[in-house]
Amino acid sequence: MPDTPNGRFCWYELMTTDPEAAQAFYARVAGWTTCPWEDGETPYTMWMSGERPIGGVMTLPEEAAASGAPPCWLAYVSTPDADATTSKATSLGGKVLHSMDIPKVGRIAVLADPTGGVLSVLQPEEETPGHDAFAEVGEFSWHELATRDWKAAWAYYSDLFGWQEADQMDMGEMGVYQMFGRGAHPLGGMFNGPEERPVGWVFYVRVPDVNAAVETVKELGGQVMNGPMEVPGGDLVAQCMDPQGVVFALHSTAHEGAEAG
């Protein structure tokens, strides 16, 4: 069995109230197609970026909705031992919200960090999905946690997944934006968000041109919550909401933006 890396973002699952509408929306915005996964007991639809499966879409489970979970994107982080990771998460002040075995996939667990951010872990049965190279167009390129105590969140995640500190950005009155990675390429950042922003992770999809993508978001009934705006280095980003109320974000590199312009 191949070695499973610890701490790789490897799968992205959209839990929504209308999977068919979501598939039509993200096909236009992100350029994805879909493909049925037929090995499981329950029907499941995968997101495809070109020939590569990057995640899935499903109806928000009734039990999740009953417990107060909104429609959302949920990212999975790889681990060689899901039970050991959940035990360690608990010892670090996190909570195990759900765990289960999925035949032909592996063992998963949904974890809440001590500040309220939620990620899943996956111990795959076979090859670990994803890769460690810089994200290509159509893949998720940035992972951002807005919280109330980024230092506590960073202590938790760096210990749990072995993520490494990258650059810090001083945002003035908003404080520090701490970036992190697990090798050559930064993975994301965490910061103390404003009170009106809920605690949680937002995942950025790399697109050829953020300006064009946000126009498509608006055309299809989504909302642009912030941006497009330039970030240090010249890349463009925008935070959006799909028609079912799920928050996501868009990213294009400075080189792509110059070509598109």
pLDDT in tens, 136-146: 999 999 999 99
CATH value of 140-260 in 3.10.180.10, 3.80.10.10, 1.10.1370.40, 3.90.480.20 = 3.10.180.10
Q: Please give the model's pTM, rounded to 2 decimal places.
A: 0.94
Q: How many CA atoms lie within 13 A of 227 on its CB side?
A: 25
Helix (H, G, I), strand (E, B) or coil at 66: helix
Q: Residue 189 belongs to what H/E stretch?
A: strand 186-192
Whole-angstrom distance, CA of residue 257 vs CA of residue 132: 24
Beta strands in 103-152 (DSSP E): 106-112, 118-124, 140-147
Whole-angstrom distance, CA of residue 197 vs CA of residue 233: 25
Instruction: Read off the pLDDT band of 258 (50, 70, 90).
Output: very low
Residue 260 has pLDDT above 60, yes or no: no
Instruction: Read off the pLDDT band of 255 (50, 70, 90).
Output: low
Q: Which among 12, 47, 13 is positioned nearest to 33, based on CA atoms?
A: 47
Q: In the chain, what is the straight-line distance between the N-terminal and C-terminal CA atoms, in Å? A: 46
Q: What is the CA 92 to chain-centroid distance, rounded?
A: 22
> Which residues lie across from 77 on neighbouring strands?
9, 121
Domains 9-124 and 140-260 share a fold: yes
Instruction: Read off the pLDDT band of 172 (50, 70, 90).
Output: confident
pLDDT of residue 261: 39
- The residue to which tokens 């945002």 are assigned: 171
Whole-angstrom distance, CA of residue 251 vs CA of residue 238: 7
Whole-angstrom distance, CA of residue 190 vs CA of residue 87: 24
Domain 9-124 falls under CATH 3.10.180.10: yes
pLDDT of residue 65: 78
Are the beta carbons of 3 and 75 closer than 8 angstroms? no
Least confident window among 57-66, 104-113, 155-164:
57-66
Q: Give the domain ranges of the chain.
A: 9-124, 140-260
70-78 mean pLDDT: 96
Whole-angstrom distance, CA of residue 131 vs CA of residue 53: 12
